[in-house]
Amino acid sequence: MDRPLILVCNDDGYKARGIRELASIAKRYGDVVLVAPTTGQSGMSHAVTLTNPIRLKQITIDGVISAYACTGTPADCIKIALNQILDRKPDLIVSGINHGSNASVSLFYSGTVAAAIEGCLNGIPAIAFSVDDHSPDADMRLAAQYAGPVIENVLQHGLPAATCLNVNFPPIAPEECRGIRVCRQTMGVWKEEFQKGTDPHGRDYYWLTGAFSNDEPDGEDTDEWAMRNNFGAIVPIHIDVTDYQGLESIRKWKF
Amino acid sequence: MDRPLILVCNDDGYKARGIRELASIAKRYGDVVLVAPTTGQSGMSHAVTLTNPIRLKQITIDGVISAYACTGTPADCIKIALNQILDRKPDLIVSGINHGSNASVSLFYSGTVAAAIEGCLNGIPAIAFSVDDHSPDADMRLAAQYAGPVIENVLQHGLPAATCLNVNFPPIAPEECRGIRVCRQTMGVWKEEFQKGTDPHGRDYYWLTGAFSNDEPDGEDTDEWAMRNNFGAIVPIHIDVTDYQGLESIRKWKF
């Protein structure tokens, strides 16, 4: 039987430590093709490049069948991989390991998660991995320990229809970790503050900063609770975002 | 009693016909503040600008209390409006009227919808409006006819918690329209094709194009069905994207 074909992407760019780690784990489970952004694309969400062309550059990565740097977004990377690079549909897409948490509502801003969602839209099992440490030399040991078993489970069991996984790890050493939990998405919000300044030419600017605020810190079934209590967190994300409960009440409105 | 405070945004930029139309409708229902991208931001999804500062320029729009062009994304516009421009939380955010459909899975790529989701993340009732016509002079009459009643309903009834509305209209004249339906999100996918070419300097490029493929053309309760049958379509979008049905099966996995 053919080995599984695994497509690897991220949003930190092909040079990031996290994607190198993920590619080296993925190759234990299948033939790996890597298509990742040329440069960092953090915070790009599910953006696609419409007004400009994108370009591919073949690169070499140890143990990977073929690898490309793509000038587009993470979603562009998945699209061009599926349409221009791969000669068959991959069995799995893995995205990450992201440098920085994508738990709770951060998934909306994440290019890493968007790459997984793009795979899911195309009917391909997909997993986003992230570790809650933004530094370029983030400790990936814990994520690396669990990424293999998560990949193995998805290859073995598949995923529910229209569902992909958002997997996050706290910034701790493997020996401090209490295990991995399957969670729901924490409700919360980024309390944004802008750093306002004046540039050298006398013009005002605003620079986004801010801190995550957890609306349900006691929610023991949430991903944020898991992370804060030294667990890895798996959230299954559904790509049908209809509020089915809301449908009936809104149907009573008069227009 | 104070008039409602309504924040208006879009992704086509502050000069677009659609946002001018929406602002002029919104001002019937409240005091309007407009914060919209300086330039077109179609396909930017929920991207936020992290690596560069953004800037604001005050502009003048008839009947609007204050208006700003923002060099960032639609999500940036909402964030900076809430944090730097408005002195109180708005009662409603309206985004659009987008030139182009955001029905079905196009919502994932849409900056217009992301602006509404960003409002929802901040606990503010929010509505995205779109018309299935990309042209700069798209006929907004049908959308304009229904946008008022939709706004009025949301101001009167509120929205379910963690839910915003994705409202799409077919590109037809008002007299051809059969009404407006509350729908679920159609499952489908963009079948992407890239136009591959060679630039004047001999380098290959790829340009995203493609067509929407509907996975459930017979789904009479979907937004795509409504649009194709001359109805406007309202889909309530939930910002908790956990696949609750999938949780139990994934909890059985061994790690």
Neighbours of B124 (CB within 10 A): 20
d(CA B66, CA A185): 36
Q: ipTM score here?
A: 0.97
- Of B85, B83, B49, B81, the closest CA to residue A207 belongs to B49
Q: What pLDDT band is residue A1 in, cutting at 50, 70 and 90?
A: low
DSSP string, A144-195: HHHHHHHHHHHHHH---TTEEEEEEE-SS-GGG---EEE-BPPPEEEE--EE
* Cα B125 to Cα B93: distance, rounded to the nearest angstrom: 6
The answer to whether B182 and B59 are in contact (CB under 8 A) is no
| Domain A5-189+217-251 sits in CATH 3.40.1210.10 | yes
In chain A, residues 76-95 whose CB comes closer than 8 Å to chain B: 76, 79-80, 82-84
* B200/A contact by beta carbon, under 8 A: no
A72 close to A54: Cβ distance less than 8 angstroms: yes
Set of chain B residues whose Cβ sits within 8 Å of the Cβ of A182: 247, 250-251, 253
Residue B100, sorted as left (phi over 0), alpha (psi -120 to 50) or beta, turns out to be left
Which residue in B82, B234, B238 is closest to A250 by CB distance? B234
Query: How, if at all, do strands A31-37 and A180-182 pair?
Result: unpaired
Position A193 confidence tier, pLDDT thresholds 50, 70, 90? confident
0.95 surpassed by pTM: yes
Subunit contact A45:B46, Cβ cutoff 8 A: yes
Interface contact A208-B157, CB threshold 8 A? no
A196 and B CB contact within 8 Å: yes
Residue with tokens 């990742």: A36
Span B131-142, pLDDT tens digits: 999 999 999 999
Domain boundary assignment for chain B: 5-187+218-251
How many whole angstroms separate alpha carbon A11 and alpha carbon A45?
Answer: 9
In contact, A27 and A63? CB cutoff 8 Å = yes
Name the residue among B131, B140, B101, B127 with its Cα closest to residue B20: B140
Chain B residues closer than 8 Å to A243 by CB? 160, 162-163, 236-238
Q: Of B107, B94, B109, B245, which Cα lies nearest the Cα of B185?
A: B107
Q: How far is A170 from chain B (nearest CA, A)?
A: 17
Closest among A105, A206, A197, A18 to B68, alpha carbons compared: A206
Separation of alpha carbons A129 and A42, rounded Å: 14
How does pLDDT run along chain B (255 residues), one tens digit per residue?
Answer: 689 999 999 999 999 999 999 999 999 999 999 999 999 999 999 999 999 999 999 999 998 999 999 999 999 999 999 999 999 999 999 999 999 999 999 999 999 999 999 999 999 999 999 999 999 999 999 999 999 999 999 999 999 999 999 999 999 999 999 999 999 999 999 997 899 999 999 999 999 998 999 999 999 999 999 999 999 999 999 999 999 999 999 999 998
**H helices then E strands: how many in chain B?**
6, 13
Sequence letter at residue B223: D
- Please identify which residue in the block is written with the tokens 């940036």: B76
- The position carrying tokens 């987008």 is B98
Q: Which CATH superfamily, name and number, covers B5-187+218-251?
A: Survival protein SurE-like phosphatase/nucleotidase (3.40.1210.10)
- Residue of A208, A215, A244 to mutate, interface with B, max B Cβ within 10 Å: A208
Q: How many CB atoms are closer than 10 A to CB A71?
A: 18
**Is A235 in the B-facing interface, judged by CB distances under 8 Å?**
yes
CA B163 to chain centre: 13
